[in-house]
Chains A and B, each alone.
Chain A
């Protein structure tokens, strides 16, 4: 390479470098407001919550008084029967909900993906439960489950399945499952649409090839549809797990955690300890356990969303 061409190349690199640095500076500048807002509304509360969880926080004249107590709040979690009960309820609720929502949504997505299920009206109807405000949804189910006037009892008694009305929210385990049903109903539309989008991304030629190879419908489902939906299914499961762990409104409106703490989930327990008992430090510790669970799920979500090419590197 001649001296002049080397100099010219160096100039080009310098110009390109200058341009890139300028782009980077502008990029940072334009991102700063968003970063600032994220720090203010996300990072600050999360950090504050962690700090609170290491303190004994009491309401006193002029605000709150705090005392650093180390890991005492976290140690208390392991001895607290109410926490164990809420943790078990939350795990049961999340596992059953994720399984139920995924299976039912997959079934609905398959129906909607069929030529007979294509008219837009079906998708509009499907979206109604998802579009309802959470508290409105909870109030709706409160009336459906009402032991005296609820439409569910009208159906059950009308069909002769039970002679007397059933108190759907009257015993701990039954009440938890009835809340579960209400939440499944609300969760299905979004996951269905997600899976439907996934189904529509599976190349038709794969089905044609499978058909030519003599695959039955079941074999096509197992060996073409499910593998094709793998990423979408993982995303659905992770998202639904996060949402199931966060459930609060249904418990608050339908049962207030009762009867006998049978429907207390972690989120509700955290609220109760913080605002009802004003034990702010311990409430923060419970919230942080929930945060940790959701953070792990969020990591799984990010991993599932990572482009396959980069994940294969």
Chain B
């Protein structure tokens, strides 16, 4: 070691060192700030900041591993650099709320899931700027959950409806060759399948709120019973026979439902029971088709199939996962961001999305592509389900409404209050929440 390294550091040296460090930090920040100022004005690539969930939740090229060459080419062609922030799905809502509350520009494009009405004031209506050929290729009903106050604020990028997943082997052992088509059949089959530690039905009823929470599952049965969530005045319209019947059917299924269902807080918890062969039927999202067919994650490979959900008194119905891309009002590059979303919805990208990740496309032409149908044999069932009503009834207070109501539904499923009592209590609670918003 040389002498100069053995020299003790004096307080003055220490302060000098600190000042030098702070100076270089400030200088580097200044350089970065300058580079930010010049981006997009000259030869520098324009940076687009995009908030999406991490894979395996629905994620675009660059986060999920598909269409990577096309993505690189799009960036080069548009002189753009796409920077992703991809936290786990459960963190997205809070992150977005915090970003919007700051009033600062953080992201150009952000994934949304049922929160479009809640964040409507922070989003721009860009859908009309997309090519007509693209819009015409999307199911018209897919815009219902991303439209608020007559403005189309997002575009759904995956057809994600709940359908029935069932274990063909379990049914065959009982001499049943077809999945249940009505509530009566579903109840009967579930009863017959419940024996020796196995259950006819499993679902995650543990989390009350949001898409995939217990309230959203009740919304499926509500629609199948012919009911709706909201009246024309925007107030609760479910405290009637349809609301009660929908919940009563869930209660009637409980003796044949995996008892753990009331404690499962995520769809993965329920899916694990189903793919282990411990339950015969469940409602599930299309993306679960791939893990259900993967020998590493499933014990029922080749023994699982999907169909439309069994019909209630008013027929079959479902809810929509509402996975959409939106553009923030604070984005300095809304045109380029619109082009990026257009790229995400490109036919070839949509095709690779389903083939490589299992997330179905939203474009009808791609859904009907034979190669896609061969790769995702559940696509036909989802398309058929899409022909029936599917509404997730999202509003700006969707989280609070579903959370509040879900707690009452959980009480009913545990037998501490009746379906009729639950509907009456929920109507009051939900109307209180809505009244606050409507003033």
Where the two chains meet, the residues of A that have a C-beta atom closer than 8 Å to any C-beta of B are 59-64, 145-149, 165, 167-171, 175, 254-256, 258-261, 272, 275-278, 280
Where the two chains meet, the residues of B that have a C-beta atom closer than 8 Å to any C-beta of A are 93-94, 97-98, 100-103, 118-119, 121-122, 205-209, 258-260, 262-263, 265, 269, 272-273, 276, 278, 329-330, 397, 399-400, 403, 406-408, 410-411, 414, 416
B273, A148: Cβ atoms closer than 8 Å: yes
State the Cβ distance, A23 to closest chain B Cβ, in Å: 13
A260, B410: Cβ atoms closer than 8 Å: yes
B408 contact set on A, CB distance < 8 A: 260
For B259, give its contact among A147, A149, A260 (CB under 8 Å).
A147
* Cα A168 to Cα B408 with chains together (Å): 20
B122, A59: Cβ atoms closer than 8 Å: yes
A258, B100: Cβ atoms closer than 8 Å: no
A167, B262: Cβ atoms closer than 8 Å: yes
For B262, give its contact among A165, A256, A259 (CB under 8 Å).
A259
For A62, give its contact among B103, B209, B258, B263 (CB under 8 Å).
B103
Closest to A153 in B: B260
Closest to B403 in A: A276
* Cα A140 to Cα B159 with chains together (Å): 34
State the Cβ distance, A296 to closest chain B Cβ, in Å: 29
Closest to B206 in A: A258
B260, A146: Cβ atoms closer than 8 Å: yes
B397 contact set on A, CB distance < 8 A: 277
Interface of B is mostly: helix
State the Cβ distance, B242 to closest chain A Cβ, in Å: 23
* Cα A147 to Cα B278 with chains together (Å): 12
* Cα A275 to Cα B276 with chains together (Å): 35
Closest to B259 in A: A167
Closest to B412 in A: A260
With A256-B207, A256-B208, A259-B206 given, name 17 new contacts (CB 8 A).
A59-B100, A59-B118, A63-B103, A147-B260, A148-B260, A148-B272, A148-B276, A149-B272, A170-B260, A258-B208, A258-B406, A258-B407, A260-B408, A276-B93, A276-B399, A276-B400, A277-B397
For B121, give its contact among A59, A145, A168, A254 (CB under 8 Å).
A59
B101 contact set on A, CB distance < 8 A: 59, 63-64, 280
State the Cβ distance, B399 to closest chain A Cβ, in Å: 5
A165 contact set on B, CB distance < 8 A: 259-260
For A277, give its contact among B276, B400, B411 (CB under 8 Å).
B400
For A258, give its contact among B93, B119, B207 (CB under 8 Å).
B207
A60, B206: Cβ atoms closer than 8 Å: no
B122, A169: Cβ atoms closer than 8 Å: no
Interchain residue pairs with CB less than 8 A apart (5)? A59-B122, A148-B276, A258-B263, A259-B414, A275-B98
6 closest Cβ pairs, A-B complex: A63-B103, A147-B260, A169-B263, A61-B121, A275-B94, A277-B400
Closest to A60 in B: B121
B262 contact set on A, CB distance < 8 A: 167, 170, 259
State the Cβ distance, A233 to closest chain B Cβ, in Å: 36
A167-B263, A169-B263, A275-B93 are contacts. A255–B329 as well, Cβ < 8 Å? Answer: no
A148-B258, A170-B262, A256-B206 are contacts. A61–B414 as well, Cβ < 8 Å? Answer: no
* Cα A270 to Cα B205 with chains together (Å): 23
A256 contact set on B, CB distance < 8 A: 206-209, 265
B259 contact set on A, CB distance < 8 A: 147, 165, 167, 170
State the Cβ distance, A251 to closest chain B Cβ, in Å: 10
* Cα A60 to Cα B118 with chains together (Å): 10
* Cα A280 to Cα B94 with chains together (Å): 12
* Cα A61 to Cα B102 with chains together (Å): 11
Among B98, B263, B272, the most chain A Cβ lie within 10 Å of the Cβ of B263
State the Cβ distance, B150 to closest chain A Cβ, in Å: 17
* Cα A293 to Cα B103 with chains together (Å): 32
A258, B399: Cβ atoms closer than 8 Å: no
* Cα A63 to Cα B97 with chains together (Å): 10
For A147, give its contact among B258, B411, B414 (CB under 8 Å).
B258
For A259, give its contact among B102, B263, B269 (CB under 8 Å).
B263
A61, B263: Cβ atoms closer than 8 Å: no
State the Cβ distance, B419 to closest chain A Cβ, in Å: 15
Closest to B436 in A: A279
A259 contact set on B, CB distance < 8 A: 205-206, 262-263, 410, 414
* Cα A62 to Cα B121 with chains together (Å): 8
A148 contact set on B, CB distance < 8 A: 258, 260, 272-273, 276, 278
